[in-house]
Structures are given as structure tokens and as C-alpha cells.
Amino acid sequence: MPSAQRPAGDPLAPSVIAGAQVVEGVVKSVHCSRGADNEEQGYTVVIDQGGHDLTFQAKSGFGVGYSDTLWWGRDHFSSCLHIEGLRAVVHYKPSSDAKYAGELARLDLRDDLPQQQPKTAEDKTAEKTSMSK
């Protein structure tokens, strides 16, 4: 955006966790495991980044951010379910285990706007008609 058009104020920058790297992709799968007391005991998420699968594991606590516009909303959000297909921004720290691309520090789930449908011939005709009016 040309600087003259930018609104006043500090530029917005995504927050980054110290020492973490960031990668973006689409959530391909997620795995949560539960202990005998139904407590969550493990979490791995696989994201597709340009055709490559990257697997991240949670070894310690991590933050999960998600868009307010997800239809099931905060009341029914679960980091274990229904997140496949969402764009993910993964903040991670390098893992000592070669099986994993990294250790999850934060997982941000985005709900992107849908693509506009390609216009049909009828749409275009209708547009032309309305413009000529």
C-alpha cells in the first residue's frame, strides 16, 4: 500500500514467540491422545506445506489461536477436531527428534474468506445489462 494511503499509527506485525520459527500450511491431520483419566496426553498436527507434510509435536504447553468466524465458534472449538483443511500458522522450535519438523509453540488457525466463484456467462450478461442502464 502506498505510504500516503496507510492509516496512521504503528504498523501491525504478527507476534512471534522468542526463539521460534514460523511456517504456514494447511492442516492435514491432527492427533490427540488421551490417558486413562481422559486427560489429553499427546498432540501432533500435520500440515501440508506446498505438497510437503510437516509434522509438529507438542512436548510442552502451547497456545492455540483460532478465528472468531469458525462456524462452531468458541463454545464448541476443539484443537483436536474439525480443524483439517484450515490454514495454519505454526510457531515451532526445532525438535531433537528427526520424526518431527518441530515442537509446537503456537498454532494459529485461520478461517480464510472463500474464493469468489467464477462468473457465469449469465452473470456477465446481467452485469453488462445493469451497467448499460
Partner 1 sequence: MNYWYLAATGEYQGVNGESPSGHYSLGSRTPGGLLLESCKMRSHRTTKNARQRGLRVSKSIFAILSIIFLASVSGTASDKEWTEVRSQHFRVITDGSEGAARRVAREFEQIRFAMSGVYPKLRMDSGAPLLVICPRDESSMKTLAPQFWKSKGFKPAGYFQHGWDKEYAVVRLDEVRPESYEVVYHEYVHSVMHLNLRWLPVWLDEGLADFHANTRFEKSRIYVGAPSWRMRVFGLRPLIPLDTLFEVTPSSPYYHDEDKADLFYAQSWLLTHYLFFGQGMESGRKLLRFINLLDETDQKKAFEQVFGEPQKVQKNLETYGRTYSMAGGWLNTPPSTDEKEFKSRKMSTAETEAELGSYHLWSRQGALARPLIEQALKDDPRLGLAHEDMAFLDFAEGKDQEALREFGQAVSLDPKLYLSLFSQTLMSPITRSDAPADQAEFERAMLKVLEQDPQFAPALVQLARLYVRQGNLEKAYEAARKAEGFEPARAGYHLLSGRILQLRGHAPEAATFAALSPRAGGALIMMRLSSSGTACLPPSAPPATHWLLQ
What's the half-sphere exposure (Cβ side, CA atoms, 13 Å) at 113?
3
What residue has cell string 505438497? 51
Contacts of 112 (CB under 8 A, 6+ apart): 87
The window from 19-27, 47-55, 58-66, 90-98 that contacts partner 1 (CB under 8 A) reads 58-66
CB closer to partner 1 out of 23 and 70: 70
Closest to 24 in 3D by CA, of 44, 54, 69, 64:
54
Structural contact between residues 27 and 44, judged by C-beta atoms closer than 8 angstroms: no
Choice from 80, 93, 95, 100 touching partner 1 (CB under 8 A): 80
The window from 21-29, 47-55, 90-98, 108-116 that contacts partner 1 (CB under 8 A) reads 108-116
Between CA 70 and CA 108 the distance in angstroms is 13
* Minimum separation from the CB atom of position 115 to partner 1 (A): 7
Backbone angles phi, psi at 22, to 5 degrees: -125, 135
Between CA 46 and CA 92 the distance in angstroms is 13
* Minimum separation from the CB atom of position 127 to partner 1 (A): 9
Choice from 24, 29, 31, 40 touching partner 1 (CB under 8 A): 40
Choice from 18, 98, 113, 121 touching partner 1 (CB under 8 A): 113
Interacting residues with partner 1 (CB under 8 A): 1, 5-7, 9, 12, 14-15, 32, 34, 37-43, 57-82, 89, 108-111, 113-117, 119, 123
